[in-house]
Amino acid sequence: MKLLEIKKYPDPILRVNCFDVEEVSFKERDLFDSMVYTMKVNNGIGLAAPQIGIAKRLIVAMDENGRIIRLANPCIVETRGSNVMTEGCLSLPGENVEVERAFEVVVVGIDDRNKDVEVKTQGLLARVLQHEIDHLDGKLIIDYRR
Ligand code: CO
């Protein structure tokens, strides 16, 4: 478990379309742990692999109860409703952007034990998951600025 350097805009890695992982093995598990540690040290509630310089589809997030979600190849399969909230990003210090997102999402992916999982959630965690999945497609909150 390592504290990783968070890449800041305009680092080109933040604009990469990241690669799916074939499976979650010890290497990805180790990366997940370092991502969670780095997220917590930086008082974040979500982090995506490109933010630490790795072009893989891996995200971590924390819900309101402090429960940690680790997902590989996350994919939004269902959404419901929408709302607007101001978001920040560890890769864009000082930037705050109002972003409209789905209020509820169903996300499928692979967990840290290489099991297929489905996460159905709403509110803040749903928003964080959408924000982190955006990162995997090279999309940033400043792209939502009107
Ligand atoms: Co971000």
Give the tens place of pLDDT for each residue, 16-35: 999 999 999 999 999 999 99
pLDDT attached to residue 93: 97
Would you state the structure tokens that stand for residue 76, as one six-digit string?
A: 């939004």
| Residue-level pLDDT at 9 | 98
Q: pLDDT tens digit string along 78-93?
A: 999 999 999 999 999 9
Measured in Å, residue 41 CA sits from the centre of ligand 1 at 15
Is 78 marked active-site?
no
Spans in the chain with pLDDT lower than 70: none
Q: Superfamily for 12-144? A: Peptide deformylase (3.90.45.10)
Contact status, residue 38 vs residue 99, Cβ threshold 8 Å = no
pTM score over 0.85: yes
The predicted structure's pLDDT at residue 146: 81
Near ion ligand 1, which residues have CB within 5 Å?
89
Distance 47 CA to ligand 1 centre (A): 7
Question: What is the token pair recorded at 8?
Answer: 């800041």
Q: b/e for 25-35, b at 16 or more Cβ within 10 A? A: eeebeebbbbb
